[in-house]
Amino acid sequence: MRVHFIVHESFEAPGAYETWATNRGHDVTYSRVYAGDELPAGTEDIDFLIVMGGPQDPVTTLEECPHFNSKGEQALIASAVQTGKAVIGICLGSQLIGEALDAPFAHSPEKEIGKFPITLTEDGCKDEMFSHFTKILEVGHWHNDMPGLTPEAKIIAFSEGCPRQIVSYSDRVFGFQCHMELTLEVVELLIAHSEKDLSCAAKYRFVNTPEQLRTHDYSEMNQVLFGFLDKLEAHYKSVQK
């Protein structure tokens, strides 16, 4: 399997997604756009396209952030979807998937930073891709926005603070507003970058302090994520035959 990551910032690291890809022996490549890497010219050499998060949003311009080409990423995502690749977006990445499919992103009702529960919807409970999820699962969060919905999209999971935590756009295209990839190492990178947001934690219902963030166990949700990725890989291989 050829897995390509688009990484927008050094502190928005692939975490458990990268662990899964390397542990499974996949061929892993990167566009670390914050370091000047180019986006792939096409999707011919990609099986899984995984688009990570970032402090930008889909309407951030090149003038505002010279290393973030939102329109270029949306075009690549659209090409990957059209050619039947597996596509996963995390946070900003999930919003870019929606935008690429003509579904504008929206602001989430609540800022969420930390570890809080998500709940499977009726569609989520029926979807075999998520059959190993518990009905309520505590996962990582670090966001203000959420992905748009196409007419065909199904909301798989929601939280008290955000109605669109996991979205299925097709059997191979998924948006995760939540951060199931977080590890203690990635959390430390995010804490270092988020001093302003975390200093105001008491003002928000769903924002942890740095001390709380450091005490969470992220391994359970990582294992659940690995199960999802294994299922997506098996499905992708089956439809390629």
The residue segments making up the domain with residue 137 are 1-238
**In this predicted structure, what is the pLDDT of residue 238?**
95
How confident is the model over 215-227, as pLDDT tens digits? 999 999 999 999 9
The pair of three-digit structure tokens given for residue 59, joined into one six-digit string: 């309407």
CATH number at residue 172: 3.40.50.880
How confident is the model over 39-57, as pLDDT tens digits? 999 999 999 999 999 999 9
**In this predicted structure, what is the pLDDT of residue 153?**
98
Task: Give the separation between CA 93 and CA 52, rounded to whole angstroms.
Answer: 5
**In this predicted structure, what is the pLDDT of residue 240?**
85
Cβ 167 vs Cβ 149: under 8 Å: yes
Which helix or strand (DSSP H or E) is residue 78 part of? helix 70-82
**In this predicted structure, what is the pLDDT of residue 199?**
87
**In this predicted structure, what is the pLDDT of residue 209?**
95
Q: At 101, is the pLDDT very low, low, confident or very high (cuts 50, 70, 90)?
A: very high
Average pLDDT over residues 159-183: 98
Any idea which of 2-16, 160-174, 197-211 has the lowest mean pLDDT?
Answer: 197-211
* pLDDT tops 90 at residue 200: no
* pLDDT tops 90 at residue 206: yes
* pLDDT tops 80 at residue 241: no
DSSP string, 35-66: GTPPPPS-STT-SEEEE---S--TT--TTT-T
Q: At 80, is the pLDDT very low, low, confident or very high (cuts 50, 70, 90)?
A: very high
Q: Say how many domains are in the chain.
A: 1
How confident is the model over 112-137, as pLDDT tens digits? 999 999 999 999 999 999 999 999 99
* pLDDT tops 80 at residue 3: yes
Helices (H) then strands (E): counts for the chain: 8, 10
